[in-house]
Structure 1
Amino acid sequence: MKVSLGKVLSSKRKAKRITQQELADFVGVSKTSVSKWENGQTYPDITLLPLLAAYFDVSIDALLNYEPELSKEEIQHIYLSIQKSFDTQSAEEVWEQLNSFIHRYYSCYPFILQMGMLLLNHYDLLPGENTQEKADKYLGEALKLFIHIRVNTQDIKLINEATKMEAYCLLVLKRPDEVLDILGQYVPTHLPADDLIVGAFHLKGDPVKAEATSQSGIFQNLFILISSMTNYLQLLLKDPVKLDTTYQRELMIIETFNIEALNPAIALNFCLSAASVHALIGNKELLFNDLNRSLAILQKNKDSLLFKPDDYFDRVQDWLDQQALGNQPPRNAHQVVESISSFILTHPSLDIYREEEEMKQIINQLTEIRERRS
């Protein structure tokens, strides 16, 4: 089942006896945009739905021709539209909008999973007095969504994903015993499905799909490895030798596989995590290297932080297209820049370095990047 927005718009427009150009003029978009909406090529921005519904004198549900399931493309569109709304609407308006969609599609479990992920990725931008209050409230809401999925869906893949996200929420909410109750105390043995799928395509005599699947597995596992090593850095403050070894090895992986271009967001996360560690142990040289590297990544990826195939990973685009957000990162570039700015300008671990000349230069570069993106 799908939302038939394009068909409804076309039908309502024709019943009202207006042209695509007249509708476009009323809404404030181009005629081409209206044409693409009606043909199902794109969707209107979420903020335009109330205006369109009022113009045709129908409810938003009627405009959407609502049914309880959404396609992957529709889920992606709603997620990215809400994400974009953080830049144009108040936190209260975005929260109201998000709640409205959650209630409307509460039985569409793939959609609810993504809304829980959106809460995890953007809770700091939602209404609240301070970061801890926001974490308690919105991670609590995300936790309820993940439990709702786990309890009610029959889809094993969704159950597994929701369970891991449930555990993540509990960890951030400082409820470790419940995390261990859900996941156990040991890492489970993992048989990668990608190797089995590769083997199946190989037996079928389809080397192209076998190679694409193998690339996609390596592509994803690389990001998992880098995330795990980034988290590991934080555990090694009292073991400087292992800390430096982990840092150098992770840096080598990032450089070898061109991660700063493939997945700029995960490379930025490594830089900031490493910077916080090096600040705490007093390694000023590596601290400034990490911060300068993060700014260089932002400079190289001025337009977006999209996941990007390259000459080595040249067969992963189809796999990316099948993901919930396609090649879009969970936070847009503007929000990432603001997070980095907040870290550099306010993180307590950097306080003792703020009068250093190199830190002042870093802050000046950061200010220029923010101004260009505003």
Structure 2
Amino acid sequence: MLKLGENLKKFRLKRELTQEQLADVFGVSAQAVSRWENGTTYPDITLLPTIAGYFEITLDELMGMEYLKSEEQLKEVIAKLDENGNKGLIYENILLLREAVKTYPTDYQLQFRLVNQLTFCQYRDGRGLDEEEINALNREAVEVGNRILSRCNDCEIINRTTQQLCYIYSRLGETEKAIEYAKKLPDIGACSTVILGDIYEGEQQNLHLQQAIKYYTKSMFQF
């Protein structure tokens, strides 16, 4: 039943209850609660409103319907971002992303997209931004970027964010800060594409070496 077992465990732990204690509440065995949480069996459907009521949540929250609704909304946000991007509507994307990261505070890919849009807006937005507006966008990008670095565990997002921050600090005239962040990035020789190019042979080797050349060329002319 969707995310019932996962949610049941989450709300039980939030109440600091053992499986035995929760079992007593609903008049079942601790083994039954364990099976519910593992997803091997499910509570009787007539018991679901009682469980939801006990935890003071809706049936949708208990069953994971809120999660599914959230996922659908996220897909709509991403589709709109892509649509705006194709039309060159960068500032519209910034407004959309500012709201989206409030709704999805742990989606660091969205936050990274916000850093990118804040960075690109000063180059590609047709409104003609003045220096004060550009600095404000850069400062916001720095704030979001550092928030990503302090909370995210995804190495790829961390490295890409760090790279962006290097360029942003450099544009802000904070060269020492840019150097500090640049030193946090992996050495160029540690790139998986380069290493795989050394390991593979024949066509696979050529493919990875071509990808490495494209990557480094893009990096050189990114800004």
TM-score, structure 1 normalization: 0.35
Q: In the alignment, which residue of structure 2 is the partner of 1:190?
A: 188
Q: In the alignment, which residue of structure 2 is the partner of 1:158?
A: 157
Alignment partner of 2:209 out of 198, 210, 214: 214
- Flag structure 1 segments of 5+ consecutive residues without an equivalent: 1-61, 228-265, 270-374
The equivalences for 1:53-202 within 5 A come to 65-67=69-71, 77-84=79-86, 86=88, 95-123=94-122, 130-184=129-183, 189-191=187-189, 192-202=191-201
8 Å contact 1:119–1:138 — kept in the other structure?
A: yes
Structure 1 residue 190: Cα displacement: 2.6
Identical positions, percent:
14
Q: Secondary structure at the match of 2:70?
A: coil
TM-score, structure 2 normalization: 0.55
State the distance in 2 between where 1:63 and 1:127 align: 38
The equivalences for 1:213-232 within 5 A come to 213-225=208-220, 227=221
Structure 1 residue 69: Cα displacement: 11
Q: Deviations along 1:68-125, whole A, 9 cap, x unmatched?
A: 9968xx88644422324655x9x5x554323222322331112211221111111456
8 Å contact 2:81–2:93 — kept in the other structure?
A: no
Q: In the alignment, which residue of structure 2 is the partner of 1:22?
A: none
8 Å contact 1:68–1:107 — kept in the other structure?
A: no
Q: Deviations along 1:293-332, whole A, 9 cap, x unmatched?
A: xxxxxxxxxxxxxxxxxxxxxxxxxxxxxxxxxxxxxxxx
State the distance in 2 between where 1:68 and 1:182 align: 36
- Give the number of the structure whose alpha-carbon radius of gyration is greater: 2
- Flag structure 2 segments of 5+ consecutive residues without an equivalent: 1-65
Structure 1 residue 147: Cα displacement: 0.6
> Would you tell me which structure has more helix in proportion to its own residues?
2
Structure 1 residue 136: Cα displacement: 1.4
After superposition, the Cα gap between the structure-2 partners of 1:101 and 1:127, relative to the gap in structure 1 and judged at 3 Å, is farther
8 Å contact 1:128–1:134 — kept in the other structure?
A: no
After superposition, the Cα gap between the structure-2 partners of 1:193 and 1:70, relative to the gap in structure 1 and judged at 3 Å, is farther
State the distance in 1 between where 2:197 and 2:74 align: 30
RMSD of aligned residue pairs (Cα, Å)? 3.8
> Which amino acid counterpart does residue 209 of structure 2 have in structure 1?
S
State the distance in 2 between where 1:218 and 1:127 align: 32
State the distance in 2 between where 1:138 and 1:100 align: 16
